Amino acid sequence: MLLNNFRELLLRKTSSITLKNLINTMRDDVLENSVLESLEKMARASHKGDSANAAIRDFGAEMDQSHEPSMIHDALSHHASNYKAALNSGNKDVANQHAKQVFRIVDMADQAQKHSNGKLQVEAVSPQPWERNSKTNQYTADDDKVKEGTYKPGQFKTKTKGWRYRGNDYGFLQQAPHQTYAQEIRRHGHNNAYPMEEMTVNGKHIDVEDVEAPTSYKSHPFDAHPVMQHFEEPAGSRTPERDKEYLAARDKFASSPELDKYFSNQEERAKANPVADSTRGNTRSLPVHKQVEPLDVSRESDQAGQAGQAGQAGQPAQAQQAAPGIIRRPAKTDAPKQVLTAEERAKAIALLPPDLRAKLGLE
């Protein structure tokens, strides 16, 4: 759908003069970024977990609210603590192994929580602005795929994967976020190394403790939970036999040495310091990463970031752009206005998420 058509649609759906003026004068790039961001967030919120396999769905639906979420919280706390200790000791290999397990657990929980009926809620800052630091190659006008029209100059050659990243190097977490995410970073304020300590499970911050530097990977009992061996398999490629294997392993885990070890560790923690145990997660831990030169998200420096985001969105970066935040009326043009037909408008509206259609009064 053309942006002008969407602008007209928004204008028709509001009676506020102030809002009409804002929509009318908003630069195309600002409107586009705002719309895309809203759609992406709504799509993610609405659809994460939709493609989860039977193992994840079972884990979410059958979990005990006082058990599995606490175990996930303890596992993330364990891996974040050992990740930090390994980094500080210079053991990058061990640090990367713990970071990978943090990504795996959050990815699993991110899918399972939709099927938990509110029993599980894991929140974490998206790692994609930091991951982009490791994937900076962009298409140029000389690339064959640009010449054939598949991509445009400025688009990144590799997409970020977020929590589904499974590489062996997580060094990008120690850097400031990539400049192309300046607008997003300005909104949530995390412009330094990745804030792993911000993670919460059911409202409780993960507990990043000062532990002895590990010389090798130290597993957590939750690592042995069958869901961690099954959740990465696409639902479409699993067989009924594979789902039965998960159910059998799940039942066996209930009386496993790993689960006994987890409960023993929790009892020892509670006995050693009852007060600290009862308040665990109530406050945010100290930063996991050492602070670095932060990303400059000032409005004066945002031009390069907007150009990069345009490249990500598949549009060539412009040589000059108006300063972000300054509302300018689009230049007049003699080009004829393109208006959607009734059929085109209906198709365009059908592509919008249900929540957005409801908010716009298009249902």
pLDDT in tens, 144-155: 999 998 899 999
Mean pLDDT, all residues of the chain = 83
Query: How far from 245 is each of 225, 251, 252, CA to CA, in Å?
Result: 13, 10, 11
Neighbour-count burial for 241-267, b at 16+ CB within 10 Å, e otherwise: eebebbeebbeeeeeeeebeebeeeee
206 exposed, middle or buried (CB, 10 Å; 0-12, 13-18, 19+)? buried
Distance, in Å, from the CA atom of 209 to the CA atom of 48, rounded to the nearest integer, reads 31
Q: What is the tens place of the pLDDT at every residue in 171-190?
A: 999 999 999 999 889 888 99
Q: How many C-beta atoms surround the C-beta of residue 23 within 10 A?
A: 18
Residue 314: the pLDDT is 39
Sheet containing 122-123: which strands, arranged edge to edge? Answer: 122-123, 200-201, 204-205
Write out the two tokens for 171.
Answer: 């060094």
CB 89 within 8 A of CB 213: yes
Give CA angle at 162 (160, 163), nearest 5°.
150
What's the pLDDT score for residue 1? Answer: 47
228 burial class (0-12, 13-18, 19+ CB within 10 angstroms)? middle
Mean pLDDT of 255-282: 95
Q: Indicate if the pLDDT at residue 317 is higher than 90.
A: no
pLDDT for residue 328: 36
Position 50 scores a pLDDT of: 85
Average pLDDT on 91-100 reads 98
Most confident of 80-84, 321-325, 333-337, 347-351: 80-84
For the stretch 20-66, pLDDT in tens is: 776 777 666 666 655 655 555 454 445 567 889 999 999 999 999 98
What is the predicted pLDDT for the residue at 8?
A: 78
Mean pLDDT on 4-27:
71
Tokens of 86: 């390994």
Helix ranges (DSSP H) in 90-191: 92-112, 128-131, 144-147, 182-188
Q: At what angle do helices 3-12 and 28-47 cross, to 10 degrees?
A: 80
Q: Rounded to an integer, what distance in angstroms lies between the CA atom of residue 83 and that of residue 80? A: 5
Question: Is the distance from CB of 202 to CB of 123 less than 8 angstroms?
Answer: no
As a whole number of angstroms, the distance between CA 206 and CA 342 comes to 51
